């Protein structure tokens, strides 16, 4: 039923060979505590199964199908073993490595900072672990991003409530001006998928707490952070019990699975 269902006609060995040739790498941020969902589901939401598949497997499988050959999961030591076991058993999982972030308690911005300190300079797709999107979104980022930093933005999300989402205000050339929750003015919604082609010192931006949105807002001040428009491609995030209920009781995943081609 889904785009990475085991009965899918895609040849997995071919996908992995393409990924290894391209040497594309991704970082998946997975250090959160699932505070809004844990009382409902009793576990980290990334471990929760949605239509028979663990939530974290959705971005992992989509990144693999987009050509990513190595995925680094940045997570807390307390859940590293479980996340590693689940991630390596995901459908179409490429090579998986775990990075134990040591400053996760200070915000998910530090989760990315810690991962980049371990990995060093390079080009990476960076994805949050709790968004579900088709391979078409990272493929478009890879194809169209020409700036040091890019973010996949959706001007008219089909299944996401902007009131709960991270919002982006971009200029006429689609360079990010501001990014964050509850912006009064915005023209895109953050899909949670990014492309980093340069590691930039954050300097005075670092603080405690330091969220991923703080990280992005800091980069935006340099006018080197561009929105790649993915409007019309369906995606969802899973932050609340309502989000989970919606996914379990609708055909939204089937709709997302229709978007396989670039």
Domain CATH for 152? 3.90.550.10
Does some domain include residue 2? no
Does some domain include residue 31? yes
Q: b/e per residue, 127-141, with b = 16+ CB within 10 A?
A: bbbbbbbbbbbbbbb
Mean pLDDT of 121-142: 95
Rg (CA), the chain: 17
The domain total for the chain is: 1
Q: How confident is the model at residue 16 (pLDDT cuts 50, 70, 90)?
A: very low
Query: For residue range 201-221, what is the model confidence (pLDDT) as tens digits?
Result: 777 788 999 999 999 999 998
Q: 54-68, 107-121, 141-155, 246-260: which has the minimum mean pLDDT?
A: 246-260
Q: Is the pLDDT of residue 110 over 60?
A: yes
Query: For residue range 140-172, what is the model confidence (pLDDT) as tens digits?
Result: 999 999 999 999 999 999 999 999 899 999 999
Q: How confident is the model at residue 260 (pLDDT cuts 50, 70, 90)?
A: low
Does some domain include residue 75? yes
Question: Across all residues in the chain, what is the average pLDDT?
Answer: 86
Does some domain include residue 261? no
Distance CA(164)–CA(240), nearest Å, equals: 9
What per-residue confidence (pLDDT) applies to 2?
54
Phi-psi region of 120 (alpha: psi -120 to 50; beta: other; left: phi over 0): left
CA distances from 27 to 42, 55, 159, 176, 222 (A): 26, 16, 25, 21, 22
Query: For residue range 85-106, what is the model confidence (pLDDT) as tens digits?
Result: 999 999 999 999 999 999 988 8
Does some domain include residue 174? yes
Does some domain include residue 106? yes
Does some domain include residue 186? yes
Highest mean pLDDT among 2-6, 19-23, 220-224: 220-224
Helices and strands counted in the chain (H then E)? 9, 13
What per-residue confidence (pLDDT) applies to 36?
52
Q: Which residues form the domain of 23? A: 12-256
Residue with tokens 């076991």: 85
Does some domain include residue 262? no
Judge contact between 107 and 208, C-beta under 8 A.
yes
Strand intervals (E) in 119-211: 124-128, 131-132, 149-154, 166-170, 176-181, 188-196
Mean pLDDT of 100-127: 92
Tokens of 250: 């609708």
Give the bridge partners for 74, in sequence order: 29, 99
Mean pLDDT of 117-127: 94
Judge contact between 210 and 112, C-beta under 8 A.
no
Nearest by Cα to 174 from 234, 230, 136, 232: 230
């Amino acid at each position: 039923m889904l785009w990475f269902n085991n009965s899918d006609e895609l040849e997995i060995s071919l996908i992995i060979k393409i990924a290894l040739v391209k040497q594309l790498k991704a970082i998946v941020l997975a250090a959160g505590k699932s505070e809004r969902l844990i009382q409902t589901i009793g576990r980290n939401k990334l471990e929760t199964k949605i239509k028979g598949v663990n939530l974290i497997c959705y971005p992992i499988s989509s990144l693999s199908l987009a050509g990513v050959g190595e995925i680094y999961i940045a997570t807390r030591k307390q859940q590293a073993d479980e996340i590693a076991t689940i991630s390596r058993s995901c459908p179409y999982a490429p090579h998986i490595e775990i990075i134990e972030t040591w400053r996760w308690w200070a915000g998910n911005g530090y989760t990315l900072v810690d991962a980049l300190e371990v990995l060093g300079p390079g080009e990476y797709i960076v994805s949050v672990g709790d968004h579900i999107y088709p391979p078409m979104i990272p493929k478009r980022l890879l194809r169209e991003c020409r700036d040091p930093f890019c973010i996949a933005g959706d001007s008219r999300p089909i299944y996401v409530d902007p009131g709960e989402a991270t919002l982006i205000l971009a200029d006429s050339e689609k360079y990010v001006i501001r990014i964050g929750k509850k912006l009064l003015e915005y023209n895109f919604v953050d899909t949670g998928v990014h492309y980093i082609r340069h590691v930039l010192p954050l300097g005075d931006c670092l603080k405690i707490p330091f969220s991923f949105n703080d990280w992005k807002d800091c980069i935006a001040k340099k006018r080197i952070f561009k929105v790649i428009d993915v409007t019309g491609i369906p995606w969802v995030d899973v932050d609340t019990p309502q989000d989970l209920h919606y996914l379990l009781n609708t055909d939204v995943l089937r709709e997302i699975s229709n978007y396989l081609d670039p």
